[in-house]
Amino acid sequence: MVRPTQLLHPQRAPAPVRPAATVLLLRDAPQGIEVLMTRRSMTASFAPGAYVFPGGGIDAADAQAHGHSTRRATQSDGHLTQAIAAIRESFEELGILLARHADGSHLDTAQIAALDRKAPFAAQCAAQGLTLSGGEVFVLAHWVTDRDLPRRFDVPFLVARMPEGQEPVADESEQFEPLWVRPADALARHAAGQFFIIFPTIRTLERLQTYASVDDVLKACAVNDEPLFTSCPRAGLMNGHESRHMEHEMPYGELALVCPDGQMVHELAWQTERPVPLLRNVQRLTAPNPGFMTGPGTNSYIVGDPSTGHIVIDPGPDEPAHIERLWRAAGGDIRAIVCTHSHPDHSPGAPRLQVLCANAGRARPPILGLPSAPTSRENSRFTPERTLADGERLVLSAPDGTAHTLQVVHTPGHAANHLCLLLEEDGLLFSGDHILNGSTTVIDPPDGNMGTYLDSLDKLDQLCEQHGVHFILPAHGYVLGDHPRSGDNPGAPERGGARAAIAHLMAHRLAREAKVARAMQAIPDGSMDDWVKIAYDDVPERLWPVAKRSMLAHVEHIQSLGGFNV
């Protein structure tokens, strides 16, 4: 858990959430599913002028109307209350009534017009002998409004089939201009600036457009009778403009670490000219070496503060301007330089940084790490001034008792001399190239080894569990992870963000290995070129030359296990 003293921004309590419900009314059309949307009033306190699905707050009376509604055997009390609220809101706002007569028929538009949209809802339906169709309303998604907004809601996005014989009639107070629209068309019109929709609506429409029919949607939702996805998005800045992200998107973990309470201040655009503060004691400076293998560039990290001095992790390539920026970001006070491994985008800058410190009259910081193994390639030779032991602790401390402790963790796999570092006081894992954000690392034999790589992942998972690590800081890409799941963080994984990332990576590797094994079984006498077409059929062909390097590591691992039985 990150120490509050190291957070960049003062802690604050986000606005409380209010329970609400919204419903996507669906119908089948010749070109696919259509959903009913309406425009909110321009004077609305939340999302004025946006096109939305009908919905609103949950009333106490909604929970008291269970006896007037149908119900699925798997439908919880909470979900039934939400369904009734959505039924009531769609009636009040659009004159759509998900209810049936005693003979099972729906009301038509004329019958609904005879009802009073402002009268007590459940009692009015009961007086008409109507049964609410709560059992026909399913949960598609669960959204909690972003933490940076002043008005926040806890909202299930429900789905139901539009009753035949009814037409929407907006109340012309809260909702206007009801229209049927294909999800893809709504998204296209929004992208063209013609149809204002907010972030949760966008992401929900993106998911909805993958279904071919209303039946497909309802069947998917009925499987577990729980949301297909849950999210409380986070917001940052991309080149100064608002940028919102869900939990599975690459910037999310970084926003959770830097702005845990939802402050929309963190710039996400990659740049190399200045360090990016992540915490008071952690800065990231990205080297100007973007590319196919390095992504936005190699991340150098500076751990420490002016009172303790600093440790630089992965100074990167020997690029003079980058090395000088690292030195300046540390105020010239660098106590040690640690290289996670010997690859040319990680370690060559270390000697230049060391000399720069010495030339400025400071003590020469030692270059630490693990020496290259004989299996390393010629351009990946590295010999540290001191070899770091597994479990060793590098401690920065100040007279006032402040300390930053980096625990060394040997993690061979990507390279034979790879190591990671755990910042114990703040529960942060610096993962080098062992864990990346946005891609899987290449395991390139003979220096790379798939078996030791997987063993190292297990080791890191145990370390994260032991120390309560929630965030991973990779050598390429944004911070990974999330805070523990809570009522205000419902989309977080049960095991914590760091462990979930490791579990996802492990599952991906094992699934790929199973495909490699099937390729070897299908073509026992095949070549690497034959196998890659099967094992990496989901990867663009232009990437196969690189994929073959990791595939060889999988082949060797499969063979070490005794053949194809993985």
**How do the domains of the chain map onto residue ranges?**
17-231, 234-269, 271-483
Give the pLDDT confidence of 339-374 residue by residue, as tens digits: 999 999 999 999 999 999 999 888 999 999 999 999
The rounded distance, in Å, linking the Cα atoms of 566 and 559 is 9
Instruction: Give the residue-averaged pLDDT of 452-462.
Output: 98
Nearest to 143 by CA among 544, 430, 457, 489: 489
Share of the chain above pLDDT 90, in %: 89
Distances (CA, A) of 202 to 9, 96, 240, 378, 551: 29, 23, 21, 50, 38
Q: Could you check whether 17-231 and 271-483 share the same CATH topology?
A: no
Give the pLDDT confidence of 202-231 residue by residue, as tens digits: 999 999 999 999 999 999 999 989 999 999
The predicted structure's pLDDT at residue 451: 97
> pTM for the whole thing?
0.93
**Helix H or strand E encompassing 283:** strand 282-286
The rounded distance, in Å, linking the Cα atoms of 201 and 36 is 12
**Residue scoring higher pLDDT (473 or 174):** 473
**CATH for 17-231 (3.30.70.890, 3.30.750.24, 3.40.50.20, 3.90.79.10):** 3.90.79.10
350-372 in b/e form (b: 16+ CB < 10 A) is: bebbbebbeeeebeebebbbbeb
Mean pLDDT of the residues in the chain: 94
Q: How confident is the model at residue 45 (pLDDT cuts 50, 70, 90)?
A: confident
pLDDT at 406 over 80: yes
Instruction: Give the residue-averaged pLDDT of 27-31.
Output: 95
Instruction: Give the residue-averaged pLDDT of 273-280.
Output: 97
Q: What are the backbone dihedrals phi and psi of residue 177, each rounded to the nearest 5 degrees, phi first?
A: 55, 55
The rounded distance, in Å, linking the Cα atoms of 168 and 27 is 13
The rounded distance, in Å, linking the Cα atoms of 547 and 541 is 9
DSSP E strands in 119-223: the ranges are 131-132, 138-144, 152-161, 175-181
The rounded distance, in Å, linking the Cα atoms of 109 and 89 is 16
Classify domain 271-483 at the CATH class level: alpha beta
The predicted structure's pLDDT at residue 564: 56
